[in-house]
Amino acid sequence: MTTTTERKLTTQKAIAEGIATEMAEDDSVFVMGEDVGTYGGIFGATEGLLDKFGPERIMDTPISETGFIGAAVGAAINGMRPIVELMFVDFFGVCMDQIYNNMAKIHYFSGGNVKVPMVLTTAVGGGYSDAGQHSQTLWGMFAHLPGMKVVVPSNPYDAKGLMIAAIRDDNPVVYMFHKGVLGLGWMTNNPRATGAVPEGPYEVPIGKAAVAREGTDLTIVTIGLSVHKALDAAEDLEKTGISAEVLDLRSLVPLDREAIVASVEKTHRLLVVDEDYQSFGMSGEVITTAVQGAFDYLDAPPMRLATPDIPIPYSHPLETWALPSVERITEAASTLLVAG
Amino acid sequence: MDIPKDHLVDMYETMVKIRRFEERIRELYFADKLPAFDIAAGLIPGEMHLAAGQEPVAVGMRPHLKAGDAITATHRPHHVAIAQGVDLNKMAAEIFGRETGLGRGKGGHMHLFSVEPNFGCSGIIGEGMPVAVGAAMAFRHKGTDNVALSYFGEGAANQGAFHESLNLASLWKLPVVFICEDNAYAISVPKAASTAIPDNSDRASAYGIPGVLVGENDPVAVYEVMGEAIARARRGDGPSLVEIKTDRLWGHFEGDADAYRSEEFKTEMNERDPIIVYGNRLLAEGVLNEADMASIQQAMHDDVEAAIEFAMASPYPAPESALEDVFAGRSVQL
Ligand SMILES: Cc1ncc(C[n+]2csc(CCOP(=O)(O)OP(=O)(O)O)c2C)c(N)n1
Ligand SMILES: [Mg+2]
């Protein structure tokens, strides 16, 4: 089906619309979290939903993450489809047991008999001086732990489609939205934070990457806000005659390994850009995938540009230096092109 | 009032200093973010949680403290840090992200750490509470009579860390005072919508420790109750829980539209501004006269201004210094 609508939404509004679309269809879907009701979510992911669906289905919670995320697990295995918001991913520390020992493992422990159809939404990412407990992405850590799908939309269209797919999925899905792609009035924004979003339900398949920009000289694999940095870098690179392909992973679990291999087979060079900590994470996984799947095609050792293994610093010059930037991506890509 | 005059005056001075600090941070926070508010922009980027209105909670314990006592505070830490006597210049410099800051610009306003005086805070709700328990363990181990104070918001009392910490402190009879700053809201969520009972002080009974409610936002009332609780802890008689009704005069963070609190609520709150109420009382009881108050005002404003000037004149850290301080020995993390 092709939708010709050109209606534009911000990513934040697209997320809320995705939730509303499914809530209207399926009354087992409900939302819990801190400030998701009256406030509409600190990042607006549940804006307008309290008015539409009432306090029985859009529930403000106490600051009791272990309690209410664990309660979502209980509701999910008993016939509901909860969406539960962890305000910032950085707060996982107070409630991770319910997430990775319970939500993620019950299906396996039960030999596939008990389903846990829930969505854990959470805000990720830095770049606005919110310091070391409010700026992390941490997707590599969630992806590392077996049993939960992990999605990270970078634009409004994917945000709505991935939300609907996540709600309908019979597995727990961690839905991470980067604050910098939401199109919030109070954050520095990228023009792509607003885009065409079809009305009505549609799914973006979980586990499928998207070629955000076609290119022939190198592949930049990335996710979240870094997709936009990579796209901006690709525009700069084009001016110097370098054609960069940008692959937006969209999901980390499952990881679209075929898309990574296919792109590297085409361009012969790989740069991974990751806002998460460098070691033991996404960049290593993507590079391993390329080395194992497209070894003979590689003209140079793959490169990675990630946040160094340090807590995210507060001070602007420190943070700017630590996180991947358009300039750094452009620089790394240029280096990669003459390597090998 | 049978409270020594210097204590009464000290609390007033500190309240004035705190308020002035918060006002100046607020002005400078917005100075270059408007008209289009961008949280990442300006001299002080990022989230900013200010404590105007909550001064009594912070200053009431001051005269009872002695060197070496430890304090853990929250994401809204400035008032408590100032009351604990944390170096104002270094604290301001940290908030401005400068090399001369408490944490060389690495921590920012939610992560202020000072060795002497002993102060720490955290952006994670409830996180400081077990740390205060641990500080008290260290004091006992070392044989000092120091105490640890743990500040937390009423929203934090629904976090597991609250319950675990109270139980541990009681079980081990540790010198801790848990201080609940009840400003009735956790961001947009009113206490009645988050907490199963009206008063968190009642929760103390579940752990077999004294629970005291201070029903007014008044430094003298806080002074009296904290005097008891701190003395008890110092004597080795164990922890207490003190809950203080207070007011967050401004938004949860700067830039918060604060639409979840009614105009009526906000008006009433502003009418009982604790600095004005307390100042009037000191005048009425002849503790201070108008001239004293004016000179206190001037002196406190000067201190704050000096700190802000120090901060703004300080250099930013070198970008590569981001790699330092991950591990002891100032080693570089690659
Ligand atoms: C574990 C955790 N959950 C949620 C948050 C987000 N958060 C920051 S402040 C706040 C409200 C805190 O309310 P309260 O404890 O009453 O302190 P107040 O802000 O009123 O001073 C919330 C939910 C957090 N920082 N940490
Ligand atoms: Mg509160």
Half-sphere exposure of A111 (CA within 13 A, CB side): 0
> In whole angstroms, what is the distance from residue A337 CA to residue B220 CA?
70
pLDDT tens string A115-164: 999 999 999 999 999 999 999 999 999 999 999 999 999 999 999 999 99
- Kindly list the residues from chain B whose CB atom is less than 8 angstroms away from the CB atom of residue A39: 187-188, 260
Q: Which residue of A has its CA nearest to B254?
A: A186
AA letter at B55: E
Same fold? A4-196, A210-337: yes
Neighbours of B59 (CB within 10 A): 29
Contact B188 A64 (CB under 8 A): no
Residues of A catalogued as catalytic: 65, 134
Within 8 A by CB and 6+ apart from B7, the residues are B63, B223
> In whole angstroms, what is the distance from residue A196 CA to residue A99 CA?
33
Q: Is the dihedral of CA B328, B330, B332, B333 positive or negative?
A: positive
For the record, the structure tokens of A121 come out as: 């939404």
Which H/E stretch holds residue A175?
strand A173-178
The ligand with the least distance to the CA atom of A67 is 1
Angle at B275 between CA B269 and CA B277, to 5 degrees: 70
Contact A134 B333 (CB under 8 A): no
Tell me the percentage of chain A whose pLDDT exceeds 70. Answer: 99
For the record, the structure tokens of B224 come out as: 């009296």
Distance from CA of A279 to the nearest CA of B (A): 10
Q: What is the pLDDT of residue B36?
A: 83
pLDDT higher at A240 or B333 = A240
Within 8 A by CB and 6+ apart from B271, the residues are none
The domain spans of chain A are 4-196, 210-337
**What predicted TM-score, i.e. pTM, was given to this entire model?**
0.97
SS3 A284: helix
**Phi, psi (degrees; rounded to nearest 5) at B196:** -70, -20
> In whole angstroms, what is the distance from residue A110 CA to residue A105 CA?
9
Alpha-carbon torsion, ordered B220, B222, B223, B225, to 10 deg: 120
Closest CA to A267 of A327, A205, A340, A207: A340
For the record, the structure tokens of B111 come out as: 């992560």
* Nearest CB to A318; choose among B161, B189, B321: B321
Per-position pLDDT tens, chain B of length 334: 689 999 999 999 999 999 999 999 999 999 988 778 899 999 999 999 999 999 999 999 999 999 999 999 999 999 999 999 999 999 999 999 999 999 999 999 999 999 999 999 999 999 999 999 999 999 999 999 999 999 999 999 999 999 999 999 999 999 999 999 999 999 999 999 999 999 999 999 999 999 999 999 999 999 999 999 999 999 999 999 999 999 999 999 999 999 999 999 999 999 999 999 999 999 999 999 999 999 999 999 999 999 999 999 999 999 999 999 999 986 776 6
Instruction: Return the CATH architecture of domain A4-196.
Output: 3-Layer(aba) Sandwich (3.40)
Angle at A160 between CA A41 and CA A82, to 5 degrees: 55
* CA–centroid distance, residue B71 to ligand 2 (Å): 18
| Mean pLDDT of chain A, nearest integer | 97
Closest CA to A153 of A135, A179, A128, A127: A179
SS3 A171: coil
**For A247-263, what is the mean pLDDT?**
98
AA letter at A115: K
Q: What is the pLDDT of residue B332?
A: 72
pLDDT of A340 > 90? The answer is: no
Per the CB < 8 A criterion, the answer to whether A189 and A212 are in contact is no
pLDDT of A3 > 90? The answer is: no
Strand order, beta sheet including B118-121? B118-121, B70-73, B148-153, B176-182, B240-245, B211-214
Interface test with A, best of B29, B47, B99, B106 (most A CBs within 10 A): B106
> In whole angstroms, what is the distance from residue B297 CA to residue B292 CA?
9
From the number of C-beta atoms within 10 Å of its C-beta (0-12, 13-18, 19+), residue A290 rates as buried
Closest CA to B171 of B136, B139, B119, B202: B136
* CA–centroid distance, residue A90 to ligand 1 (Å): 13
Per the CB < 8 A criterion, the answer to whether B98 and B177 are in contact is no
* CA–centroid distance, residue B123 to ligand 1 (Å): 8
For the record, the structure tokens of A73 come out as: 């697990």
* CA–centroid distance, residue B57 to ligand 2 (Å): 13
- Residue indicated by tokens 């310091």: A131
Contact A94 B124 (CB under 8 A): yes
Q: What is the pLDDT of residue A189?
A: 77
**B-proximal residues of A, 10-49, CB under 8 Å:** 34-35, 37-39, 42
Residue nearest to atom 8 of ligand 1 (CA): B125
SS3 A139: helix
**For A255-271, what is the mean pLDDT?**
98
Report the nearest atom of ligand 1 relative to the CA of B154.
Answer: 16
- Kindly list the residues from chain A whose CB atom is less than 8 angstroms away from the CB atom of residue B105: 313-315, 318
Contact B125 A63 (CB under 8 A): yes
For the record, the structure tokens of B122 come out as: 């955290």
Report the nearest atom of ligand 1 relative to the CA of B54.
Answer: 21
Which H/E stretch holds residue A319?
helix A316-322
Q: What is the pLDDT of residue A188?
A: 78
Residue nearest to atom 7 of ligand 1 (CA): B125
pLDDT tens string A153-202: 999 999 999 999 999 999 999 999 999 999 998 987 788 999 999 999 99
pLDDT tens string A298-339: 999 999 999 999 999 999 999 999 999 999 999 999 999 998
Domains (range + CATH), chain B:
5-313 (3.40.50.970)
> In whole angstroms, what is the distance from residue B292 CA to residue B277 CA?
16
SS3 A187: coil
Contact B107 A64 (CB under 8 A): no
* Nearest CB to A188; choose among B40, B260, B317: B40
HEC secondary structure over chain B: CCCCHHHHHHHHHHHHHHHHHHHHHHHHHHHCCCCCCCCCCCCCCCCCCCCCCCHHHHHCCHHHCCCCCEEEECCCCHHHHHHCCCCHHHHHHHHCCCCCCCCCCCCCCCCCCECCCEEEECCCCCCHHHHHHHHHHHHHHHCCCCCEEEEEEHHHHHCHHHHHHHHHHHHCCCCEEEEEEECCEECCEEHHHCCCCCCHHHHHHHHCCCEEEECCCCHHHHHHHHHHHHHHHHHCCCCEEEEEECCCCCCCCCCCCCCCCCHHHHHHHHHCCHHHHHHHHHHHCCCCCHHHHHHHHHHHHHHHHHHHHHHHHCCCCCHHHHHECCCCCCCECC
> In whole angstroms, what is the distance from residue B221 CA to residue B210 CA?
17
Q: Which residue of B has its CA nearest to A62?
A: B194
> In whole angstroms, what is the distance from residue B63 CA to residue B7 CA?
6
> In whole angstroms, what is the distance from residue A149 CA to residue A141 CA?
12
Give the number of A-B residue pairs with CB atoms closer than 8 Å: 152
* CA–centroid distance, residue A142 to ligand 2 (Å): 30
- Burial state string for A67-80 with b = 16 or more CB within 10 A and e = fewer than 16: bbbbbbbebbbeeb
Using a 6 Å CB cutoff, which residues line ligand 1? A 34, 63, 65, 87, 91, 94; B 75-76, 123-125, 153-156, 181, 183, 185-187, 248, 252
- Burial state string for B2-30 with b = 16 or more CB within 10 A and e = fewer than 16: eeeeebbebbbbbbbbbbbbbebbbebbb
Contact B194 A63 (CB under 8 A): yes
The ligand with the least distance to the CA atom of B51 is 1
For the record, the structure tokens of B104 come out as: 């060389």
Q: Which CATH number fits domain A210-337: 3.40.1710.10, 3.50.50.60, 3.30.310.50, 3.40.50.920?
A: 3.40.50.920
Radius of gyration of chain B (CA): 20
Residue nearest to atom 11 of ligand 1 (CA): B186
